[in-house]
Chains A and B, each alone.
Chain A
Amino acid sequence: MTAMAALPISTPIPAPIVTAVAGLGAPASLADGANGWRATALRRFAACGLPTRRLEAWKYTDLSSLQGIDFQPAAADLRLADDHPLPQLADQPGHRLVFADGVLQPALSACTPAAGLDVGRLADWLSAADAAAELGAAGEPSPMVALNAALASDGLRLSTAPGIAVDRPVELVFIGGLGEAATASHPRHRIELAAGSSATLIEVHAGGGDGCYLANHVGEITIGEHARLRHVIVQTEGATAYHIASRFVSVAADGRYEAFTLTASGRLTRNEVTVSLNGPGAACVLAGAYLLRDREHCDTTTIIEHRAPHTSCREVFKGVLDGASRGVFQGRIVVHRGAQKIDGHQLSKALLLSDAAEVDQKPELEIYADDVKCSHGAAAGQLDADELFYLRSRGIPEEQARRLLIEGFLVDVFDEVTDDAVRAALFAHARRWFAAPGGPQR
């Protein structure tokens, strides 16, 4: 079965629209037409095109270099060897789904059935009657999300039954850049936790070759009352990879969303998350670390919508930037009318290891209630000369001293990861970044 076969092709679509998505991973068959919701999404994307820096939300992240690349979807029968080395984080995941340039690898994937946990694929469901209603109804506020809706062919669908605590993590592994040609994939994920349930979702995104690729993920996450999702994302994408992720999370009363993102490589990464705290007691923790070198670019954009009283959010992000890399943190917090007793804490810190590295940090508070506790802080600095000298005066060579200080800068953000084994695995990734050839440089 090929993934695109699930896409019912019908109405012919106008040539300008086909042109707008050509080279962004659209299948050749698209020129023949698309059905209702795909066509709607296509039109929406074609109307605006790729986001430009004129859009407020994309002010600091420039996608124009995407335009010159002719991305194609990977062949639906792309298969990795059975012994292909897998980047992974979880020790013993209950489920592991492996995708190569967006194409599921059944032989490398494994599932241990667990009561009350339903894990499936988007591809198996696309032709179902409710697919059109659901995908078509999604708000698609951004061009990249519209593009994803138009071209999505696979991804995770996860749901839990009420009150079920899923103890082993579900792990998604995405390997990109396997072929010679530039490849684009538009995975789409839907995660639904029923009331009182809990689960851990791990995403590992890694470069698997020298090929250029675009991974344009969209995640829709619904967390029921008293439910809790722990979401861990590791990005060690290839040197010419574009990774764009848009996540939409809605949290019901007393529900909890905890996300940690580690970005350790990739030419351009954008992690955008919108969390809507919809009922009293809903809470989220968004944390992450990004480690950049050369000309890498990493954009973290968070939007927290406090739509109910007694909701809270904690955000902690730390970046280490070497070479001529560029970091972006945009953190928007909206407290809606009547949403009293809000707790919001946001911190973004960047450590610049070279004069050519840059970071843009933009906290943004929009508050329409009066009983609100919101704090935010953003700071960028260099390694402290006194600290460096102190270490060196104790015999620690300069490179080692710098590493020690970088680790010291980063370490507390990893405390946001509640699972000890996962935290250790994430920190080991960070350590690997220090040890990689070329960095951190002077």
Chain B
Amino acid sequence: MLTIENLHVAVDGRSILSGFDLDVGPGEVHAIMGPNGSGKSTLSYVLAGRDGYDVTAGRVQLDGQDLLAMAPEERAAAGLFLAFQYPVEIPGVANATFLRQSLNAVRKARGLDELDAMQFLKSARARMKLLGMTDEMLKRSVNTGFSGGEKKRNEVLQMTLLEPRLAILDETDSGLDVDALRIVADGVNGLRAPDRSFVVITHYQRLLDYIVPDRVHILARGRIVRSGGEDLAREVERTGYADYLAPAA
């Protein structure tokens, strides 16, 4: 479903990713762990199409399409979703307006009927209830004044509405208490399907108790330095990342 080959990314002339490879099959959940500053968010932004990153080499394909050649909105339409580590606050734009325009833009691009205001509200409310969100969060400006936990729930809400083929969750667990973590994890698990894949970026093993990954990768020095099963996450939690930071002996 997602194939990343030999990806090299630089920011302001500084190399962040160098020779990054990843292959995520349909229905799989892959976890990427790594120390702070190792390039996890850089990877997620490059996949989503944010400006300011120079891809100096490599290829990324989503369902056989050249992802890097597409505009951010085309990637979303093609089924890519990124839950931001730091969701952006947009004062003045009501969350409901944003969610509906987003959902309808994606539906239109996928050849589906657009939802009217009532249909949208029904759909959003049902999902919000599962995520423990109140109606009032539709009226507020996008992420503006939301607590850390509310922002992350709003990200998961968008994910459940947009029904992506491939969802990347960038530290969606950070800043969440255990109850919120469980709600968010339930949201993700409820979406798991044979034709939907996840890349879960996390700093801690904790989230992976709730969202059990098929593969765990360690990102350090610009590439994946080790891959394994879910046990690898527990091992890293014990030993830390220090071993991976120095060039391999």
| Contact partner, A410, options B84, B92, B97, B158, Cβ 8 Å | B92
Residues of A within 8 A of B141 (CB): 408
Give the nearest-CB partner of B90 in chain A. A387
A395-B106 contact in complex given A385-B51, A389-B50, A408-B141, C-beta closer than 8 Å: yes
Residues of B within 8 A of A394 (CB): 73, 76, 98, 102, 105-106, 158, 162
The reply to whether B73 and A387 form a contact with Cβ atoms under 8 Å apart is no
B115 at the interface (CB under 8 A from A): no
Residues of B within 8 A of A400 (CB): 101, 105
B82 at the interface (CB under 8 A from A): yes
Give the nearest-CB partner of B76 in chain A. A395
Which secondary structure characterizes the binding site on chain A?
helix
The reply to whether A409 and B105 form a contact with Cβ atoms under 8 Å apart is no
The reply to whether B109 and A407 form a contact with Cβ atoms under 8 Å apart is no
The reply to whether A407 and B93 form a contact with Cβ atoms under 8 Å apart is yes
The reply to whether A389 and B72 form a contact with Cβ atoms under 8 Å apart is yes
> Within the assembled complex, what's the spacing in Å between the Cα atoms of A385 and B73?
14
B71 at the interface (CB under 8 A from A): yes
Within 8 A of A (CB), among B26-73: 48-51, 71-73
> Within the assembled complex, what's the spacing in Å between the Cα atoms of A389 and B86?
13
B249 at the interface (CB under 8 A from A): no
Within 8 A of A (CB), among B89-110: 90-93, 97-98, 101-102, 105-106, 109
B87 at the interface (CB under 8 A from A): yes
Least CB distance from A109 to B in Å reads 39
> Within the assembled complex, what's the spacing in Å between the Cα atoms of A131 and B90?
54
Residues of A within 8 A of B101 (CB): 396, 400, 404
Give the nearest-CB partner of A390 in chain B. B88
Residues of B within 8 A of A4 (CB): none
Give the nearest-CB partner of A392 in chain B. B72
A392-B73 contact in complex given A400-B101, A400-B105, A404-B101, C-beta closer than 8 Å: yes
> Within the assembled complex, what's the spacing in Å between the Cα atoms of A232 and B143?
33
Least CB distance from B28 to A in Å reads 22
Give the nearest-CB partner of B52 in chain A. A385
Least CB distance from B72 to A in Å reads 4
The reply to whether A395 and B90 form a contact with Cβ atoms under 8 Å apart is no
Indicate the member of A385, A390, A400, A407 with the most B CB atoms within 10 Å.
A390
Indicate the member of B92, B97, B106, B158 with the most A CB atoms within 10 Å.
B92
Which of the four size classes fits the interface of chain B? Answer: 20 to 34
Residues of B within 8 A of A380 (CB): none
The reply to whether B102 and A395 form a contact with Cβ atoms under 8 Å apart is yes
> Within the assembled complex, what's the spacing in Å between the Cα atoms of A386 and B49?
12
Least CB distance from B163 to A in Å reads 11
B156 at the interface (CB under 8 A from A): no
Indicate the member of A398, A405, A408 with the most B CB atoms within 10 Å.
A408
> Within the assembled complex, what's the spacing in Å between the Cα atoms of A404 and B71?
18
Indicate the member of A387, A394, A404 with the most B CB atoms within 10 Å.
A394
Residues of A within 8 A of B97 (CB): 404
The reply to whether A411 and B76 form a contact with Cβ atoms under 8 Å apart is no
> Within the assembled complex, what's the spacing in Å between the Cα atoms of A393 and B76?
6
| Contact partner, A398, options B73, B76, B106, Cβ 8 Å | B73
Residues of A within 8 A of B92 (CB): 407-412
> Within the assembled complex, what's the spacing in Å between the Cα atoms of A154 and B92?
42
Least CB distance from A390 to B in Å reads 4
Residues of B within 8 A of A365 (CB): none
B16 at the interface (CB under 8 A from A): no
Residues of A within 8 A of B138 (CB): none
B199 at the interface (CB under 8 A from A): no
B200 at the interface (CB under 8 A from A): no
Least CB distance from A404 to B in Å reads 6
Residues of B within 8 A of A385 (CB): 51
A 393-422 to B, binary, CB cutoff 8 A, 1 in contact else 0: 111111011001101111110000000000
B124 at the interface (CB under 8 A from A): no
A 68-94 to B, binary, CB cutoff 8 A, 1 in contact else 0: 000000000000000000000000000
A391 at the interface (CB under 8 A from B): yes
Pick 23 A–B contacts, CB within 8 A, sort by A: A387-B88, A387-B90, A389-B49, A389-B50, A390-B90, A391-B102, A392-B72, A393-B50, A394-B73, A394-B102, A394-B105, A394-B106, A395-B73, A395-B105, A395-B162, A396-B102, A396-B105, A398-B71, A398-B73, A405-B93, A407-B92, A409-B92, A412-B92
Residues of B within 8 A of A (CB): 48-51, 71-73, 75-77, 82, 84, 87-88, 90-93, 97-98, 101-102, 105-106, 109, 141-142, 158, 162
